[in-house]
Amino acid sequence: DLEDAAATPCHPSIFVLAKFTRKLKDEDSSSAFSCRLKLGYPPDCVIFTTLINGYVHCDKLPLAAQLLNKIINLGFQPNIVTYGAIFKGLCRIGDNASALTLLTKMHSAAHCKPNLVIYNTIIDSLCKDSLLQQAMDLFSAIKTDGIQPNVVTYTSLIRGLYNTGCREEAKAVLTEMLKTNIAPTVVTYSTLVDMFCKDGNVKEAQATLQLMTHKGVTPNIFTYNALLDGYCLRGQMRDAKKLLDIMAQNGCEPDLVSLNSMINGYVKLKNIDKALTVLENMFQKGITPDVVTFNTLMDGSCKANRLTLARQLFTDMQAHGVTPDVVTYNSLIDGLCKCKRLDEAVGLLEDMEDKGIKPTTVTYNILMDSLCEAGQLEDAAKIFSDLVSKGFAA
């Protein structure tokens, strides 16, 4: 019985409140809370925080915020854990505006000031949403308040700045971090390796990997995969193969991401047979290919005019339980059109629609261009009519 459970003195009822807040209707958890008040058991911050955590856990942020306001109006003083739960929930759903508003309110409260964990939560969320100016302003504010940023703060900013193209600003933040004698973690180093590779600066990424090893920080799968992808994007497949061997020697077995990068690298070099060998190695290692694996291979096969292979891969992926997506179909349709196999291409359009996969403007444009080029204007007009009827702009 909910009322009996709620009446149990102090904190066994915390678990009841948490359970009911997470699993039952909103009024059930409120009922349990009300029952305690009616029966004379005083509420406290632990009870309030439990309820708020429950609401946050099941994405009922408005209820969590209402309860926070209610307890403040009742004269209770939420603690740092209570506020932390709300900030975590707001940032998880990307409601940065509400998080910043709450931060301002928290600053004005005399009893409880934000700590570095709360600042880091907000800064990381701002960076992920590319709100870099606000993130940098908050970064400056915490230093002005005498709070020393840590490696989590710096790593979030470096990643956020670099991902939005602010390369020099990211390097400046990194330099500041090193000057304050904050040791980078594996996450920081992995971020740097990924950043340098995406910028085409593989030598700098190599140097970063060597530095972290020298500093006693062990690279993880994310570090290795970032550098591996950098090699593959630049066609440095010998270096990529050596890195795979180093990974295995260091007890970091290549995963699906690693092998997908290898396949992509070989495909870019038009070495489809080498890419197929990587696929075979996947199966031997017990790694299940995904739609990215097959799409990369099919696109490469189509561009190499190996349509029979592409069709076989299309069959194989489904046999292995991998569902084709719009990218799969677009690659095959494009390959068939370039080989003047227009009837098969139109058949694939019908097949994808039958399977509930919505064509894109790219799909329609490939078909219409090819049909017009072949002089099949009536068929092209039918495709165009279908496009318009589905709401695409003419």
Average pLDDT across each block of 10 residues of the chain; the chain has 394 residues. List them in order: 39 46 47 52 66 75 77 77 87 91 83 90 95 95 92 93 86 90 91 89 93 92 96 96 94 95 97 97 95 97 94 95 95 93 91 90 91 88 82 61
pLDDT at 225: 97
Whether 4 is in a domain gets the answer yes
Whether 154 is in a domain gets the answer no
Whether 310 is in a domain gets the answer no
Whether 201 is in a domain gets the answer no
DSSP 113: -
Whether 169 is in a domain gets the answer no
Q: Does the CA dihedral 226-232-234-239 come out positive or negative?
A: positive
d(CA 122, CA 87): 7
Nearby residues of 376 by Cβ (< 8 Å), 6 or more positions away: 342
Evaluate whether 190 touches 159 at the Cβ level (below 8 Å): no
Whether 343 is in a domain gets the answer no
- Tell me which residue range forms the domain holding 43: 1-114
Count the domains in the chain: 1
Whether 37 is in a domain gets the answer yes
Nearest to 83 by CA among 104, 74, 140: 104
pLDDT at 337: 93
Using alpha carbons, list the distances in angstroms from residue 282 to 225, 253, 257, 263.
Answer: 16, 12, 11, 11
Q: 306-365: per-residue pLDDT in tens?
A: 999 999 999 999 999 999 999 999 999 999 999 999 999 999 999 998 999 999 989 989
Whether 136 is in a domain gets the answer no
Please count the residues of the chain. 394
CATH number at residue 8: 1.25.40.10
Evaluate whether 116 touches 107 at the Cβ level (below 8 Å): no
pLDDT at 320: 94
Nearby residues of 121 by Cβ (< 8 Å), 6 or more positions away: 84, 87, 88, 91, 99
pLDDT at 30: 52
In three-state secondary structure terms, 165 is coil
| DSSP codes, 210-261 | HHHHHTTPPP-HHHHHHHHHHHHHTT-HHHHHHHHHHHHHTT----HHHHHH
pLDDT at 286: 94
pTM: 0.75
